[in-house]
Structure 1
Amino acid sequence: MFAIAAANGGQYPALFAFGDSILDTGNNNNLATITKCNFPPYGRDFVGGTPTGRFCDGKVPSDLIAGSLGIKETLPAYLDLNLRNEDIPTGVSFASGGTGNDILTAQLQGVLSLPAQLKNFQEYIGRLKALVGEERANNIISNSLYLLSSGNNDIAITYANSPLRKVIPFPQYASQLVSWASDFLKQLYGAGARNVWVLSTLPLGCLPGGRTAAGGPLRFCADFVNGQAQLFNSQLSSAVTSLQSTLSGSNLQFIDVYDALLNIINNPLSSGFANVASGCCGTGLFEIGATCNLAVGSCPYPASFVFWDAGHPTQRAYQLIVSSILHQNTTRLSK
């Protein structure tokens, strides 16, 4: 990953993250929601063993990408009460665990919708201009890298459980999700963003919670749930390509996280993993949600697990995923 940082050559002055728990670094901590993780054993492998609100034992992709591109080692949450002024020019995360493209997804969990995250970004721009001046702020906004991860919770939670959405055929719902994502990307572009990486969903049927909910008594990967994710991802990829061709000066890229994680799940021994079906701090056998089951314990060997809890990979799995997608997309570091 250090080669990627060298290739960046300081091209991206900052990194900004939007979307869900894949990129959230603690924005949910002070929200009135149960979708939060600012308590042990979360963060046990983070700097100082601190539970920061990252849905992981350690760093999440927003941190790892920032570090790999030589921007900074961790990406702070914009709503972190301890956010320092010196951290602002190099980027923050606006992502909120549990959110999605569908506003109902955020409402069901009491977290920040994408429009709410965009509003925080606009507030951030004003704060940045006050700190560094309008000219430098505009340069940072237009030349930085933006990440978006959304769709996971819309499919796995809202569509799977909400009667308001279940009446809609999934292909139609997927198209609506992509339309909402496209609208958000246009608004982000309107706010000045030009370089955006749009992440696919995870293979949702292979998450521990997905296996428990839909994988049968043997907890196989739920193929129909993975099929829903694949359909959404295919439509999202096409939409990103279309937007790239229509938004002047933009550099929008679709990033395939689905296959990167599925390859690890299907070939765990080659990556040194011993368990692909259960979360390290949450067995996946009983809990459907994403939070750790504290009764399970603190999990002494997270590096041997692909998943940390019922819905999120471990730091080590994320490291491999980020390494894979960055090396597959090194050419995208040149505009």
Structure 2
Amino acid sequence: MDAVNRFCLEIALVLIIVMSNRSFFCCGASVNAENGMKKPVVPALIIFGDSTVDPGNNNNILTVIKSNFPPYGRDFYDKKPTGRFSNGKIVTDYIASDLNIKDLLPAYLDPTTRNQDLITGVSFASAGTGYDNLTATILSVIPLWQQVEYFKVYQKKLRGLVGEENATHILSEAIYGISMGSNDWVNNYFVNPIRMEQYTVQQYQNFLIEIASNFIQEIYSLGARRIACIGIPPLGCLPSERTLRGGLYQHGCIDEFNEASQGFNQKLISLVENMKKELVGVKIAYGDIYSILLDIIQHPHIYGFDEVGDGCCGTGLIEVAILCNIRTPFTCINASEYVFWDSFHPTQNVNKIIAHDLLRRKLGDLL
């Protein structure tokens, strides 16, 4: 070997040794330079909530609030309907991927969920549920208290898989997401004379916030230390609510619903600030999805969308869950042009924008 080649070889060996003993931070993710594999930013993602974050738990319960049939999942892997209320991925899939945890966040009740999936986190969410137990009862879905019970069983399974010390580490370093509240308004309060007689809008907001407060304290007592509280969207701008509340022809947003959303979100922000002071060692953040979704709705072309008033499925006015099915006529050809997939839920492309916005501007304090 001549001197030049020997010199080059020695330099290469030095670089390999140096790089193999260090990591570098790239695009918010820890990357191991030895093998090029990205390391998870946090060990697990654990989710509680409703259809916005349910990857298919409702497939395994007796309810009509399901989406495990076409055309749901039309743009998912293998065009498979999984129970996600979308043409493809939902927000938590993108967050799990962006944090380098895994490509998809699975449903806890999915019989195909593996032990490795439990170690890196699951979703306990149930489409149609809310903070108010009555909301879950109305739609025969999993109430929040039952999601907590599933979480307790999950913890026991996790300890059995990785041992007490590792489980404690995973549970304390995981990000916990809470995303619900929409159904409490559109499927309960505003259609339920009992609740409307019991509470004013402001009183019902306080009622829900009290439940949220108790829930946060409970999962904190169970080991949660990084908690994301996600607000609710501009409910008055959802195609279903525009249609059902007299907006079929003018198709404008319903101010009453948006004001209820804003009031609830403001109180959730106050709750988060209070929890920062009360809970020792907790990192807790408010995730604002109202602003980004409203901006997409008001300026769709900036984000690359053409249709904002109707959902892709069917007429786009009222079709959701079993009303959005393979026999539904007029379903759009290209969902990427639409803000909403059905009359209630965003398309995969909008979910991606929301997820990236949450991580970039809202949830950085948890990392």
User: Where on the TM-score scale, by shorter chain, does this alignment land: which range?
Assistant: over 0.9
**194, 205, 212: which one pairs with 1:174?**
205
Instruction: Encode CA deviations 1:206-236: one digit per residue, 9 max, x unaligned.
Output: 0110111224331211111100100011011
Cα separation, 1, equivalents of 2:29 and 2:233: 25
Runs of 5+ in structure 1 lacking a partner?
Answer: none
| CA shift for structure 1 position 332 | 1.5
Q: 1:189 to 1:248 in 2, by over 3 A?
A: same
Letter aligned with residue 46 of structure 2: F
> Tell me, what secondary structure is at the counterpart of 1:29?
helix
> Tell me, what secondary structure is at the counterpart of 2:85?
coil
| CA shift for structure 1 position 19 | 0.8
Runs of 5+ in structure 2 lacking a partner?
Answer: 1-25, 32-37
Which TM-score applies when normalising by structure 1? Answer: 0.95
| CA shift for structure 1 position 160 | 1.2
Instruction: Encode CA deviations 1:148-174: one digit per residue, 9 max, x unaligned.
Output: 011110011100111221112110001
Cα separation, 1, equivalents of 2:29 and 2:264: 31
2:224 aligned partner: 193
**Paired residues, number:** 333
Which TM-score applies when normalising by structure 2? Answer: 0.87
1:18 aligned partner: 48
1:208 aligned partner: 239
Please say if 1:231 is aligned against 2:263: yes
Cα separation, 2, equivalents of 1:289 and 1:37: 5
Task: List 4+ stretches of structure 1 deviating above 4 A.
Answer: 6-9, 286-291
| CA shift for structure 1 position 133 | 0.8
> Tell me, what secondary structure is at the counterpart of 1:25?
coil
Please say if 1:255 is aligned against 2:287: yes
Identity %: 44
2:343 aligned partner: 310
Cα separation, 1, equivalents of 2:229 and 2:215: 11
Cα separation, 1, equivalents of 2:348 and 2:106: 17
Cα separation, 1, equivalents of 2:350 and 2:291: 13
| CA shift for structure 1 position 331 | 3.6
Cα separation, 2, equivalents of 1:179 and 1:330: 22
Q: CA RMSD in A?
A: 1.7
Cα separation, 1, equivalents of 2:216 and 2:354: 24
Letter aligned with residue 251 of structure 1: K
Q: 1:250 to 1:201 in 2, by over 3 A?
A: same
Cα separation, 1, equivalents of 2:245 and 2:320: 10
Q: 1:45 to 1:172 in 2, by over 3 A?
A: same
Letter aligned with residue 171 of structure 1: Q
